[in-house]
Amino acid sequence: MTDSAVAEARETCEGAVAAEAVCVQAAGFLLELSLDWMVLRASENVDDFLGQSHVTLIDEPLGNFVKAQPLHDLRNLFSRLSATTGIARAYGVRLTHEQRRFDLAFQLSAGRVLIEGVETPDGFGEAFSTVGGLAEGLRGLSGHALLDGAARRMRALTGFDRACVTSGGHRVESRRGGAPAAAALSDLPPIVCDVGAAPVPIFPRRADDGAAAAALLRAPSTLQREELRAAGIASTMRVPLPGDGCFECDSRLPRPPSLELHAAAELFAQMVGLRLENDRLSGA
């Protein structure tokens, strides 16, 4: 096959992927709400988490299905953050009368309130408690040594097999033996738990997924899953650096989702970004 034919085939494949409806990963659930917190859409696995069919939730107030106090707390937190473009998180929340607790991420996306939830993992707080010490270890470093130290500490923080930092046209990675090499992968979701897990549709199913496309746990597309498998990667996490850089973390094995770990990685990336900016200014 000629180079032009290969390029044309890839463009065709990517066009088909772009037409795929957004799904979520099976390790978590998603609710898309109106601004007055009516359920407009729900992932079709929500029954596994909240004990309510995704069909039952549609066009009903979220308060009909979760306890009043956590709903009140979430709405208060959201009202304080609704003017920002960030993602808020709440940890260890009992949404129903069952004992199960959930970590939640919520944001305003395309005029909708987007709520994602995963079961609270054991060891909550361990990731946040290490961020300060890891960032302090970068003191006095500059240039390549700063990027190398940042990559090694991000790998230590997250426990992934490989961590790579890209900044200012430079790319530095830290990986344990046998870890997958760096691969150029297209626009992956921030968190991919298990590339082999079947994606879960969002009900009602439709092509207009402007809000759901912003989900932390949106499922990778068919093309992205194929790219990850080809690279020997089972799970990934992507975290932006202030400016034009990012951290990429990859693992050969599936990993359960942790919203706390992702938030801790974001905090570490912000601290690294400050170090990099100071390094740039001092060298100017």
- pLDDT over 80 at 219, yes or no: yes
Q: What is the pLDDT of residue 210?
A: 81
DSSP 96-148: SSSS--EEEEEEEETTEEEEEEEEPPSSTTHHHHHHHHHHHTTTT--HHHHHH
Structural domains of the chain ordered from first start: 7-119 (3.30.450.20), 126-283 (3.30.450.40)
- pLDDT over 60 at 166, yes or no: yes
Mean pLDDT of 202-228: 90
Q: In this predicted model, which residue has the larger pLDDT, 18 or 49?
A: 49
Burial 122-157 (b: 16+ CB within 10 A, else e): eeeeebbeebeebbeebeeebeeebbebbbbbbbeb
- pLDDT over 80 at 255, yes or no: yes
Q: Is 59 exposed, middle or buried (0-12, 13-18, 19+ CB in 10 A)?
A: exposed
How far CA 261 is from CA of 5, 124, 138, 237, in Å, comes to: 42, 9, 20, 10
Chain centroid, CA 138 distance in Å: 25
Mean pLDDT of 87-95: 94
Q: What is the pLDDT of residue 100?
A: 94
Least confident residue range of 98-107, 129-138, 171-180 = 171-180
**CB atoms < 10 A from the CB of 89, how many?**
18
**CB atoms < 10 A from the CB of 266, how many?**
19
pLDDT band at 184 (very low <50, low <70, confident <90, very high): low
